[in-house]
Amino acid sequence: QSTWGCLFEKMETIEGKTQAIQHKTSRLIVKNVPKYINEQRLREHFENNGGTVTDCRIAKNKEGESRLFAFVGFKNEDQAAEAQKYFNKTFIDTSKIFCEFALPPGSKDIPRAWSKYTAGSSAHDKRKEEKQKKKEKKKEKKK
């Protein structure tokens, strides 16, 4: 069972006001981590609050470069909630980090994708169709 996740946030209307509701998990997504930081240093940074870090992973692209976000897992939800409260909008060196609760990939509660490079977004589907049409035109020209 994979426990890596993405932001879990729902919009809820209470007494006519729409607000974001975050649900607790034992894993945090940490956004805007410095490009040069390694997993060991990130782990040590989050262990300074007294919580037990079970795992830590920095997201990287195909070339191995940081995507500027990471996932940090804690022993339980309470420790993750304390870390989120303590570290959200703080700094690692000169980078202001943002900590939010995370969910496993594929969860139906993850916000809809919007990037033209992300499968599932309407922009991605349109781009894919355009590429397919170009391929078909090239095949017709070769014939």
Residue 14 has pLDDT above 70, yes or no: no
* pLDDT score at 1: 34
Q: Give the whole-angstrom CA distance, residue 110 versus residue 117.
A: 17
- For residue range 26-81, list pLDDT tens digits in order: 999 999 999 999 999 999 999 987 689 999 999 998 899 999 999 999 999 999 99
Residue 138's SS3 state is: helix
* pLDDT score at 138: 84
pTM confidence score: 0.66
Phi, psi values for residue 54, rounded to 5°: -90, -35
Residue 16 has pLDDT above 80, yes or no: no
- For residue range 72-123, list pLDDT tens digits in order: 999 999 999 999 999 999 999 999 999 999 987 777 777 777 777 777 788 8
CA-based end-to-end distance of the chain: 49
* pLDDT score at 8: 40
Tallying the residues shown for the chain, one arrives at 143
* pLDDT score at 21: 52
- pLDDT band of residue 6 (cuts 50, 70, 90) is very low
3-state secondary structure 79-124: HHHHHHHHHCCEEECCEEEEEEEEECCCCCCCCCCCCCCCCCCHHH
Q: Are strands 9-14 and 17-22 parallel, antiparallel or unpaired?
A: antiparallel
